[in-house]
Amino acid sequence: MRGGVRRTRFTCDDDRVFARLGRTVAHHARLTVIVWLVLAVLGYAVAVVGVGGQGLFDRLSASEPVAPSSESSQGRAILAQADEAGASLTLIVSDVDPRTKGIDDALDPARTDLAAIDGVASVVDPFALPDGVQDPAAAPLLAKDGDGFLMVVELEPALSDSAEEHALAQVQARLDQVPADLHDVAPDATGVVGGTTLIFSAITDQVEQDLRTGEAIALPIALLVMVLVFGGFLAASMPMAGAIASIAGGLAALLGLSYVLELDSSVVNVVTVLGLGLSIDYGLLIVSRFREELHRLLDQDEGRAARRRRGDGPVVTAVERTMATAGRTVAFSAVTVAISIASLLVFSPAILRAVGAAGVAVIVVAVATALTLVPALLTMTGRRLARPGLLSRIPFLRGVLGRTADVETDEGVFSRLAGRVQRHPWWVMGGCVVLLGVLALPLGHIELRNSTTQLLPAGSTQREFVDTLAAQYPSSTSPGITVVAETTLEDAATWSQQIQALDEVASVDAPTAVGSYVAIGVRPDTTDAGDATARAVVHEIRALDPGFPTWVTGQAAAQIDFVDALKAGAPWAALIVVLATFVLLFLMTGSVVLPVKALITNVLSLAASLGVLVWVFQDGHLSGLLGFEPTGGIETYVVALVVAFAFGLAMDYEVFLLSRIKELHDAGLGDREAVRLGLQRSGRIITSAAAIIIVVFAGFMAGQLLVIKEVGFALAVAVLIDATVVRLLLVPATMTVLGHLNWWAPRWMTRIYDRAAITH
């Protein structure tokens, strides 16, 4: 008994699953560490080198997200199946007047060299046409401002993957030399080579670079935060070791999934940052509880007697008790997070299903390291964690660590905060709801986008290529909307006149035969292929009845279909998450009130986080500070990812807090006192874990890929709001107002809880 609180006691004979797991790991600590070391090395090696020389990043795709079986995806599939053209690369030559004498002759060596490359089918430039730049066919190849031209190289369509890759590399190398070939006649000429393959390569390369950048920023700062939390490097290194092993295991798991699912390039960073953050969170909870249990044992008579004996009896017992309490909480939390993320599997878009499957796999690895590797390291470190670290001997740091390092006390910052909240719970609860509502207001004008090259940073070569092509060579670019029709050219031409008459249609390309179908290019009166104007044109075309089957595709059409797919899957995903959350929290607390309270507060927190995301990334606030160019909306799948991930993380902290409050309530404390002491004992862990995971997400915000910035920012904001406004203010205020009603449940449900409760 301590401070009037009855402690739950665990012995080495305890037959509970987590107690047995802790005992087993403690007795085989070195073997456990060696196994994880081998697995981590193999995980990194397999992810980088891969199987058969193809690593994880070689197997990633980078394409516009689509909803399978939708009209836009069916139209795209028809066009792809009928497309007999090979891969191509285009050189944009700028800062040169095409009418300059001698350019044609200067290009002859390049034409000859390019045509001689194995696999090249054609080399086209405006000077090779019969009448040169005066030829009407040359217009699409000449810059609108008269200050440049295009050179297009197309490969044969039947090349193998390796032959195509080799040919494209040679073509790119030779095209890069063309501006130098023109130096004598056009000394200021510059060039940019681009194409679909280079764009995809740029995106995947940026993903890999952003991953390294995020890790380089997040890991050192996270380590520093944990040093402040634990008061030394030794304890702080435990969660960090688990995080490093989790990254390795997660990358290996992603490689395995890449053979089953098509993984978009952004999936790697999104799920890696989740695994990194969760593994540190869980390790933090395990280490903190171990130190608490070890201090308690060493302060007791049995601990003093054990110190006189040889062996590490208190250490093993502390590990066992830690696993039976914090280990259970970690496993329970992981289940709630996994269920939230697994809800993405009910959506039809492949990118969401891939994130759902990959996210669950990474969570499994994170919880495995927390429940095995971290306890093994704690066992090997033993009683040294009960002694002050070397940093505490430094005068200046001693004072800082005294205020930040975890301590076992029932009075402190968080208990005092809870006391203030409990004096005015209604005012605090009302203020929190108003604040969250204000933050959520921008959500009312959210615009969803499916971007491609806009995801690349403004300084990217391929982003520059696409922007220049759209601005100076609009005739050579694909139309924003393409209609695939199953009809004759004559009927398609007649119907295209109706399309031309639609509002906000700038022009309609002449229908062309595509296999047994006809393609009609439609150019909306906008430079943004995914904005409201383009979407309105899609709706208008789809509302027409030409009398024959049609499929409308393009960026705007894909956005519309993707959003419809989200709407179709959202009710099922919400039902799964709500039911699972309710059942799990009920089995944990025995209450039907607390699960409902958790769902309501989490929804408020999510809405506020998404509102801030819209205010920043759609409305463009803080764009200079964060280093991005607004696209006019939020990426469609980012919203689904943020909702799933942020809800899971919110449940993570809910479980951390409720497990301590429930433990104290079961020990006989009153409702207000259980909330106050529960916040004191878990508040330090929640805020520390939140600070670390915010650092992790912020580290990935330092990358350049827009979608990763959006996800990182949204989740960092979500965790910040949840760990401060919700967990430290709204939840204590709400539980204080509810009082004994917190633990209410109908009698028939109480009987179920008595038989199936998840307790320790």
List the domain boundaries for the chain: 1-54+231-408, 87-199, 458-560
Tokens 């090696």 -> residue? 45
Tell me what the mean pLDDT of segment 349-378 comes to. Answer: 89
More confident residue, 720 or 656: 720
The per-residue pLDDT for range 113-125, each reduced to its tens digit, is: 999 999 999 999 9
Report the percent of the chain where pLDDT is more than 70.
90
What amino acid is encoded at 316 in this protein? V
Give pLDDT, residue 401: 46
The per-residue pLDDT for range 251-277, each reduced to its tens digit, is: 888 888 888 877 777 777 777 777 877
Helices (H) and strands (E) in the chain, counts: 28, 11
User: Tokens at residue 668, please?
Assistant: 């006989």
Give pLDDT, residue 710: 87
Which residues share a beta bridge with 88? 154
The per-residue pLDDT for range 40-83, each reduced to its tens digit, is: 899 888 887 776 667 787 777 766 677 888 899 999 888 888 77
The per-residue b/e assignment along 638-650, b for 16 or more CB within 10 angstroms, e otherwise, is bbbbbbbbbbbbb
Most confident of 39-53, 402-416, 721-735, 745-759: 721-735
Report the percent of the chain where pLDDT is more than 90.
31
Q: What angle do CA 418, 682, 677 make, to 5 degrees?
A: 45
pLDDT band of residue 390 (cuts 50, 70, 90) is: low
Give pLDDT, residue 300: 64
Give pLDDT, residue 52: 66
More confident residue, 398 or 249: 249
- CA dist 510 and 45 (Å) reads 53
CB atoms within 10 A of CB 157: 12
Tell me what the mean pLDDT of segment 215-244 comes to. Answer: 78
503-508-513-514 Cα dihedral, nearest 10 degrees = -70
The per-residue pLDDT for range 415-458, each reduced to its tens digit, is: 888 899 999 999 999 999 999 999 999 999 998 887 766 667 77
Q: Does domain 87-199 have CATH number 3.90.650.10?
A: no
- CATH of the domain spanning 1-54+231-408: 1.20.1640.10
Give pLDDT, residue 759: 58
Tokens 């401070």 -> residue? 3
Give pLDDT, residue 1: 38
Give pLDDT, residue 216: 80
More confident residue, 3 or 29: 29
What would the 3-class secondary structure string for 71-105 be?
HHHHHHHHHHHHCCCCCEEEEEEECCCCCCCCHHH
pLDDT band of residue 306 (cuts 50, 70, 90) is: very low
The per-residue pLDDT for range 170-195, each reduced to its tens digit, is: 999 999 999 999 988 989 999 999 98
- CA dist 243 and 695 (Å) reads 14
In the three-class reduction of DSSP (H, G, I as helix; E, B as strand; rest coil), residue 293 is classed as helix
The average confidence (pLDDT) of the chain is 84
Give pLDDT, residue 636: 85
Whether the Cβ atoms of residue 617 and residue 630 lie closer than 8 Å to each other: yes
pLDDT band of residue 90 (cuts 50, 70, 90) is: very high
- CA dist 633 and 619 (Å) reads 8
The per-residue pLDDT for range 617-655, each reduced to its tens digit, is: 999 898 888 888 888 888 888 888 888 888 888 888 888
Q: What is the DSSP string of 343-400?
A: GGGGSSSHHHHHHHHHHHHHHHHHHHIIIIIHHHHHHHHGGGGGSPPGGGGSHHHHHH
Detail the DSSP E strand segments found in 367-509.
448-449, 481-485, 505-508
Give pLDDT, residue 58: 77
Whether the Cβ atoms of residue 452 and residue 561 lie closer than 8 Å to each other: no
Is the pLDDT assigned to residue 404 strictly greater than 50?
A: no
- CA dist 80 and 69 (Å) reads 15
Which fold, 458-560?
Answer: Alpha-Beta Plaits (3.30.70)
- CA dist 694 and 733 (Å) reads 25
Which residues share a beta bridge with 89? 153
Q: Which of 209-218, 606-615, 729-738 has the lowest mean pLDDT?
A: 209-218
Q: Which of 122-136, 383-397, 533-547 has the lowest mean pLDDT?
A: 383-397
- CA dist 17 and 584 (Å) reads 18
Task: Name, in order, each residue with C-beta under 8 angstroms of 316's C-beta and a sequence gap of 6 or more.
Answer: 12, 23, 26, 27, 379
Q: Within 13 Å, how many C-alpha atoms sit on residue 364's CB side?
A: 12
Q: Which of 305-314, 477-486, 706-715 has the lowest mean pLDDT?
A: 305-314
Q: Comparing 87-199 with 458-560, is the CATH topology the same?
A: yes
